[in-house]
Amino acid sequence: MDLLRSLPIGLYLEKPVTWLHKLDPRVKLVWLSSFLLSPLLANHGWRIGLVVALLFLTFSGGIPKRVWQKQMVWLMTLSSLIFIITLISPDGYAIDYQPRLPESEIEIPPPSSYQYILLDTNFITVTRRSLDLGIRISCIIFTLIYSTNLFLLTTAPEEITAGLEDLMSPLRRLKLPITEIILTLTLSLRFIPLVLEEIQNLVRSVRTRAINWKKLGLRRTIQVWLMVVEKFLFNLLMRADQIATAMEIRGFTSPNRHKVQWHDLRFSWFDWVAFIGIFIFWWGRLTLGNLKSFI
């Protein structure tokens, strides 16, 4: 069980350097925001197109298969399960209304090809609303998780904080502590792998002792896991104290006085092409994404 390799949270792929790595972090932040916001109030064609676009970026970016295969399989499985559960669940519209007029006075509409119930068996009922909700929820979950994963995979924590600090610089006029916020974010991103490492070490230590959980019983099992959690919190606090001590030894006083240039932000022609692509992306969202759904 290697959490540092199986979980994508806060991890950065240093090599190989793909064209996604070379993009300016500010451009990638705007693209990430576009992927997160554009599925809202969009049709199903646009949502499915975003999923296909993320898969295309992964394959065209040259990211090794060993990096994205496990995460993509788990995420595809999760999205598929959510789609199936939502598809066969009641849609909430199965309500019988009592007609207010006698049957002789009710106007019967002419027959049409429209059918609200798409599949009706003894065990499963699929309606247009359940299919609509299934596609909507599964696509949004995949887009939200995988777009963020792809961003963290191809962007170093220092680049993320440098890009956020540059984009949030206008807020300095409101006297907001932007530098302090960015420093806290940088330390948080650096601390995530340490948390995963501590969890991994504690789980391995428990497994190597070959504890017979059935003989312990419920009460002793809870006591053992409480001891593990206590050790985990103690190790995290010790790591945090070591980081604070290292910063004090290096003469760190405040982010404004002891400013460290994490990353040199430079716009290249490739970044300008990607930035122009954002406008094309939103033009497609406002035109194609608002068309009538196929359901």
Dist. CA 136–CA 44, nearest whole Å: 7
Task: Indicate the pLDDT class of residue 130, thresholds 50, 70 and 90.
Answer: confident
Q: Residue 50 has what DSSP assignment?
A: H
- Where do we find the tokens 């296909």? 52
Tokens describing residue 293 = 């759904």
pTM: 0.75
Task: Indicate the pLDDT class of residue 1, thresholds 50, 70 and 90.
Answer: very low
Asked if the model's pLDDT at residue 129 lies above 60, the reply is yes
Tokens describing residue 3 = 């959490």
The share of the chain scoring above pLDDT 70, in percent, equals 83
Q: Once rounded to an integer, what is the mean pLDDT over residues 109-134?
A: 77
Asked if the model's pLDDT at residue 31 lies above 90, the reply is yes
The share of the chain scoring above pLDDT 90, in percent, equals 18
The predicted pLDDT at position 178 comes to: 79
Q: What are 13's strand-pairing partners?
A: none
Bigger pLDDT: 139 vs 291: 139
